[in-house]
Structures are given as structure tokens and as C-alpha cells.
Amino acid sequence: MADSPHQLLARDSRDVLLPGAQTGDLRRRDRNVCRSPDRASAWEHMSRAGKRVAVIDAPFGRPTDGLNGVQITNWGVHDSWSWPRSSWPSGLIHEVVDRFGEHPVPYCDAPDPSLADYEVLRAGLIEGVRRKANLLRHHLAQEDWDFFLGVFSESHCAGHQFWHLMDPSHPRHAASAPPSLHWTIRDVYRAIDAGVGGSCATCQRRCPFS
């Protein structure tokens, strides 16, 4: 049975988990398997075809030296353990931090957070969306890319951490929590919507969004 070319990285930095093409069952494989040409990402294939590409915080997206464009890996993502933070060109990640700062939520899944911790996390996620939106708009404006991928992962963290505060039927629901915490998922998605809208405006109708 052939393995799918799509990759999920295991926490063990030496290995990856590869889903089978037919069953989807995850199988542990050495990470070097994913460095073969037939396991290249879509943007690597486009880069090799001469297309100009920009890839910013693709979840589990492996760093690609020599990409025909730019790549920022793990500036602000949910699973930052997947690859070391890096960029192509290599100095770009330092420029990003200098211009936009660090992402305010370096780690999402803290154990046993208090309501005060949730307030801090909520503020960090919304600020992280704002910084990510500025980062994406900045790079969208650099040139007329053939392919541009930018990911807001703050919604992933919000779903993990705030669902029980939104859903009154959840066994861990805290009815006494501030209303702002009950509506964090909505507010994070609203911030992302605004960020996507700003990116569309930067693109000025010259590129499709999906």
C-alpha cells in the first residue's frame, strides 16, 4: 500500500508519522523519508517549476533551503516543536522578529490554567492575529507572487482552550467566567476575518484567495 505524501511530524525529532493512503493509519517513519523528491510539498514543486512562492507558518511545513521565494517556519504556530524556527533566506526570520516582534503566545497548551491565565491567553491570541496579519500584508506587498500561503493558527489554540468556556453544556463550563472568555473563540475568528480582509485589500484584486 502506497503512503500518502502528506506528512504529520512526530514529537520525536528523528521520526515522522505518515498516514497510509487508503486507511489513514499513522505509521512511524524516519524523517529522512520526507526529504525524498516524491515527498516534496506543493510549494517545493512550484518553486522547482520556476514559480515565485511565499510560505508563512504552514503547520508542520518543513524548512526548504533554496526555495524560489521566501519561507518563514514557526514564527507563530500551534505546534512549534515540529521544526526549529527558521526562514529562507536564512536572515529573514531575524528581520521578521525585529519588525513584528515575537508572537505573544509561544505555547498554547499550558496545564491547569486559571481564569486569569485564560484572560492573558485571550489577549495574546488576538494580538498574535494582529501581528500575523501585519506580517502577511507586508510580504504580500513585496511582489506579485505566483503562490502565497499564510496561516493563522490562533484559531487552533482558541478551539483547544476556550471551547469549554463557550459551550454551556460542557462539563468544565465556568458560568462565572467573564463574558469576554465565553466569547473568545468568536472574537479570535473575527480578528482573523479582519486580518484576511486586510490581506485582500493589500492584494488589490490581483490574486485569488481561498
Q: What is the mean pLDDT of each run of 10 residues along the chain (210 residues)?
A: 36 47 52 55 95 95 93 94 93 97 92 94 98 96 93 96 95 94 98 92 65
- Global pTM value: 0.80
CA distance 6 to 10: 13
Q: Count the domains in the chain.
A: 2
Q: Provide the sign of the torsion angle of the four alpha carbons 99, 201, 195, 178, taken in this order.
A: positive
Where in the sequence is the domain holding 157, given as residue range(s)?
40-203
Are residue 144 and residue 180 in the same domain, yes or no?
Answer: yes
DSSP 8-state class, residue 2: P
Query: Torsion angle, CA of 175/179/182/184, rounded to 10 degrees?
Result: -160
CA distance 188 to 156: 10
Are residue 189 and residue 139 in the same domain, yes or no?
Answer: yes
Are residue 172 and residue 77 in the same domain, yes or no?
Answer: yes
CA distance 124 to 196: 18
How much is the CA Rg of the chain, to the nearest whole Å?
A: 19
